[in-house]
């Protein structure tokens, strides 16, 4: 009886999704809180939209820069640890070989069983170093250009998210109607974003939508209360 080929489907863009989540979540909540807080303090939609656009511009740059620096920091940390591992396999190879055994021991593999693997890795120092980086230190090689992509993704997601709660203020001069519409579209966007995110991350879509809605809604409410208190 012929067997169907097993195809593994694993999601491998977790860092990109993380960047989108960071940018979108902040973009939805911070401009919403700013606009909502100003709604009770000023009588001009023009001021609210101007302040909102300025905040989105500044926030996207700040968030993008933060993502860039974080990704650069990860790359520099990886490079530093790789230099140290190269030095150790050259200067203290026996200790490093013992560390390979300890890694396998954690998976229930005896020293005798992993001996051929240890010998194979010792014959290829490049593979040895990569093995130690991944399984001893738990570090993955950063993707080339990761810092710039992270900055662009976070900044772009912040802009997209930020325009959603601000858009009702462009469409009506009635403050109460604009605030209500902004609240509705922001909550809807949070739930929709969580639903879509669940499809990519493997989490049940409805659970992901509810989690994102509750967490994002709580953050937006807290930020709104603070903005109202200050305004």
Tens digit of each residue's pLDDT (9 = 90 or more) over 202-225: 778 888 888 878 877 777 677 667
Residue 46's CB is within 10 A of a number of other CB atoms, namely 11
Share of the chain above pLDDT 70, in %: 88
Does 103 have pLDDT greater than 90? Answer: no
* The token pair that represents 103 in the structure block: 């890694």
pLDDT range class, residue 6, cuts 50, 70, 90 = very low
* Predicted pLDDT at 1: 46
- Please provide the average confidence, as pLDDT, over all residues in the chain: 82
Place of tokens 């609210």: 48
Query: How many Å apart are CA 138 and CA 109, to the nearest integer?
Result: 19
How much of the chain is in helix, strand and coil states, percent to nearest 5? 80, 0, 20
Query: How many Å apart are CA 31 and CA 219, to the nearest integer?
Result: 12
* Predicted pLDDT at 231: 59
Ordered by start, the domain boundaries in the chain are 14-76+146-230, 82-136
HEC letters along 185-205: HHHHHHHHHHHHHHHHHCCCH
* Predicted pLDDT at 4: 53
Q: Rg of the chain's alpha carbons, rounded to an integer?
A: 25
Q: What is the mean pLDDT of residues 118-145?
A: 84
Place of tokens 């926030």: 59
Answer yes or no: are the C-beta atoms of 161 and 26 closer than 8 Å: yes
The sign of the CA dihedral 84, 89, 90, 95 is positive
pLDDT range class, residue 7, cuts 50, 70, 90 = very low
Residue 43 DSSP class: S
The sign of the CA dihedral 99, 102, 107, 109 is positive
């Amino acid at each position: 009886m012929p067997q169907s080929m097993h195809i593994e489907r694993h999601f491998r863009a977790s860092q990109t999704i993380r960047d989108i989540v960071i940018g979108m979540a902040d973009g939805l909540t911070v401009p919403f809180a700013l606009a909502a807080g100003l709604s009770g303090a000023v009588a001009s939609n023009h001021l609210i939209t101007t302040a909102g656009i300025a905040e989105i511009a500044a926030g996207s740059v700040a968030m993008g820069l933060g993502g860039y620096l974080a990704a650069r920091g990860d790359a520099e940390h990886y490079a530093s640890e790789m230099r140290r591992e190269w030095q150790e396999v050259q200067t203290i190879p026996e200790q490093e070989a013992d560390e390979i055994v300890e890694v396998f021991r954690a998976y229930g593999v005896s020293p005798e069983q992993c001996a051929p693997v240890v010998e194979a890795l010792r014959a290829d120092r490049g593979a040895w170093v990569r093995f130690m980086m991944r399984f001893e230190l738990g570090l993955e090689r950063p993707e080339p250009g990761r810092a710039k992509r992270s900055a662009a993704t976070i900044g772009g997601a912040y802009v997209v998210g930020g325009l959603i709660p601000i858009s009702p203020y462009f469409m009506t001069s009635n403050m109460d109607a604009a605030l209500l519409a902004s609240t509705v579209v922001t909550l809807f966007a949070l739930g929709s974003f969580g639903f879509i995110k669940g499809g990519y991350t493997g989490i049940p879509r409805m659970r992901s939508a509810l989690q994102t809605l509750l967490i994002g809604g709580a953050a937006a409410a807290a930020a709104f209360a603070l903005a109202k208190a200050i305004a």
